[in-house]
Amino acid sequence: MNEKTIWDFLLQKTGNAYGTAAIMGNLMAESSLNPRCVTGIKDPEYICKADNEEIDFAHDGHAFGLVQWCYYTRKGGLLAYAKQTGRSVGHLQMQLEYLVKEMSQDYKSVWNAVCTAKDIRSASDIVMLKYEKPSGTSEAAKKKRADYGKMFYVEYGMLDPEPEPAPQPSGKKMVRAKSQVNIRSGPGMSNQILGELKGKRTAELISTENGWHKIAVYVKAEFTEVIS
């Protein structure tokens, strides 16, 4: 699974779970963690043509890969690194290596932010605004990327006694686990795990859907209680 491979690689490189989650949340928003994702064209031979230099990959204007690299210098750098290391431009490990190389060398303030992050949201916003630079930068877009990051943070067991200050905006409530909780990535989905809401055993309740409470992941309502 790409998720675990990406998490392990970035965590080893950044040494920071918040920063790793921030990067992954942005990658999820950009490409759904698919290194072969290409925007604006439906050509099954696109990657093969890029590898064989049958197209002008760097200048064709199609966003590509985990990061959705699009600007010609960045796509050109990706292709050059792929050739230098003898791998396809769509190779997952190669793209992760290039991401770290590019961010640490050309976007040093972003790299420093993810390596020293104290929370997910702040780091996620920096990755979004200074590295990914999407056209849409609304508050909703920022929150979506940060929420994806929180999902990965929880999924890979990085909850600590107080991972982030618990936000309590108007209209939001908190939930507390009654016991071990049935965690899934969506209501009714089969890829469940058993887990706990650690620390003070509370988490922000984002929404309720079909008997499930959505926090960073989905928890069956019967295993939790809503508190003020």
CATH number at residue 21: 1.10.530.10
Exposed e or buried b per residue across 38-73, where buried means at least 16 C-beta atoms within 10 angstroms of its C-beta = beeeeeeebbeebbeeebebbebebbbbbbbbbeee
pLDDT value for 226? 72
The answer to the question of residue 167 being in a domain is no
pLDDT per residue over 182-218, tens digit each? 666 666 565 544 555 554 455 666 667 666 767 766 6
The answer to the question of residue 92 being in a domain is yes
Sheet containing 202-205, strands listed edge to edge, beginning at the edge strand earlier in sequence: 202-205, 173-177, 224-227
pLDDT value for 56? 97
pLDDT value for 30? 97
Q: Are 219 and 175 in contact (CB under 8 A)?
A: yes
pLDDT value for 110? 98
DSSP letter for each residue of 97-138: HHHHHHHHHH-HHHHHHHHS-SSHHHHHHHIIIIII--S---
As for how many domains the chain has, the answer is 2
The answer to the question of residue 38 being in a domain is yes
Write the DSSP symbol of residue 34: -
Tokens standing for residue 147? 């929420």
pLDDT value for 65? 98
* 112 in the same domain as 28: yes
Residue 167 Cα distances to 13, 39, 218, angstroms? 29, 35, 18
pTM for this prediction: 0.71
Bridge partner list, 174: 204, 227
What's the burial of 218, exposed, middle or buried (CB within 10 Å: 0-12/13-18/19+)? Answer: buried
* 184 in the same domain as 150: no
* 70 in the same domain as 37: yes
- Residue ranges making up the domain that contains 65: 2-155
* 142 in the same domain as 88: yes
With a cut of 70, list the residues of the chain below it in pLDDT: 1, 159-207, 209-211, 213, 216-219, 222-223, 227-228
pLDDT value for 170? 47
The answer to the question of residue 82 being in a domain is yes
